[in-house]
Amino acid sequence: MDAKTDFLASLESFTERALTRRKKRRLAQKMKQQAKHWIRDWAEAILWAVCMVLLINQYLFQMYRIPSGSMSGTLEIGDMIFVDKLVYGPELLPGVAKMPGVRQAKRGEIVVFENPAYLSKGPVFTILQQFVYMATLTLVDIDKDELGQPRVHYLIKRAVAVGGDTVRVADGEVSFLFRGASDWVGEREYQKLSGFAYPLRRMVKPEDYPSIHATGRQAAEVDMRLIGDTKPSAYNPYDDQALLASRFAELASAYPHDARFVAEDRKVRSGWYIPEDRIFTMGDNRDNSKDARWFGAVSLDKVLGHALFIYWPLGRLGGIR
């Protein structure tokens, strides 16, 4: 009986000491919290929030603002969207070692990828830039060019073709030669056959192309010094690719021994073959988009996310297709 009484007394004493220590610890934490200046409280809260947002942006979902009209008809300037970073695999650090994803980008999906023309200053700078950008509520961007303009790190376009496809563009209209096929299929025809339609906006009318081609031939004649550098013919300036196609066709015909002219002409006539580890991206606003027609097919290692839905403005709230 005495042993039991001693045990209970010891247990009661231990419990009282433990509860007392716990109460003192909580009281000390509370007093320490109360002693903090309100500015420090706010700073710590903002710091914590920014760090959490950066982690979510890097590995789960990224918030992205549409900066240009290259996807107009699907995404308008100023649209705020969520981008899924998990599906294709997020980067371990910005520009470093892409992690495995669920799958690769599919034909027709809208993707976010690293701008091929962007010259990275390293992952440390990128993290710092993103931190400052978020901490200042997007007011300060330290990643600027020599003219003081923000550098374009990421682009958003539609993956119109995948590895194994060949893409050809003639007067702004796209056609595909799919793997194993012998006939070209126009993009609009493909949309009807597949049942997957997306808007295609054109700014150049079919009747504008004769003057565009004439201007291209005139540019070639200037290159060949057959005529002086005169003012070009009036033409719609949006489809520079069609102008260049006419220019290089004329130069390749005049200088068949010049490998560069012949290669450029062949690329236009035969199209771009897409390697297995790349995708061909284009803007839905075809005549107002600098895309894979200019910088080539994009490596899958640089494809960072799949556009999911628009969350702002509320009037445009909805999924992205």
Q: Are 127 and 46 in contact (CB under 8 A)?
A: no
> Would 77 be classed as within a structural domain?
yes
> Would 17 be classed as within a structural domain?
no
Q: How many CB atoms lie within 10 A of CB 203?
A: 16
Q: What pLDDT, on a 0 to 100 scale, did the predictor assign at position 286? A: 93
| Residue range(s) defining the domain that contains residue 157 | 44-165+277-319
Q: Please give the Cα distance from 97 to 99 (Å, whole number).
A: 6
Could you tell me the two tokens for 76?
A: 């308008």
Q: Are 69 and 288 in contact (CB under 8 A)?
A: yes
> Would 76 be classed as within a structural domain?
yes
> Would 20 be classed as within a structural domain?
no
Q: What pLDDT, on a 0 to 100 scale, did the predictor assign at position 40? A: 77
Question: What pTM does this model have?
Answer: 0.82
- CATH number of the domain where residue 136 is located: 2.10.109.10
Which phi and psi angles does 152 have, rounded to 5°?
-85, 105
> Would 119 be classed as within a structural domain?
yes
* Closest C-alpha to 84, from 49, 66, 60, 114: 60
Q: What pLDDT, on a 0 to 100 scale, did the predictor assign at position 9? A: 65
Strands (E), the chain: 61-65, 80-84, 91-93, 96-98, 110-114, 154-161, 166-170, 173-177, 185-186, 272-273, 278-282, 298-299, 303-312, 318-319
Q: What pLDDT, on a 0 to 100 scale, did the predictor assign at position 15? A: 67
Q: Alpha carbon 182 to chain centroid distance?
A: 32
> Would 228 be classed as within a structural domain?
no
**Total structural domains in the chain?**
1
CA distances from 8 to 2, 19, 22 (A): 10, 16, 21
Q: What pLDDT, on a 0 to 100 scale, did the predictor assign at position 232? A: 61
Q: What is the pLDDT along the chain (321 residues), one digit of tens a residue?
A: 566 566 556 656 766 676 677 777 776 666 666 666 677 778 888 888 888 988 998 999 988 899 999 999 999 999 999 999 999 999 998 888 899 999 999 999 999 999 999 999 999 999 999 888 888 877 789 999 888 888 999 999 999 999 999 999 999 999 999 998 999 999 999 999 999 999 999 999 999 999 999 989 999 999 898 887 766 665 556 678 899 999 999 999 999 999 999 998 998 889 999 999 999 999 999 999 999 999 999 999 999 999 999 999 999 999 998
> Would 50 be classed as within a structural domain?
yes
> Would 67 be classed as within a structural domain?
yes
Q: Are 218 and 246 in contact (CB under 8 A)?
A: no
Could you tell me the two tokens for 142?
A: 């330290």
Q: What pLDDT, on a 0 to 100 scale, did the predictor assign at position 21? A: 79
Could you tell me the two tokens for 153?
A: 């790190």
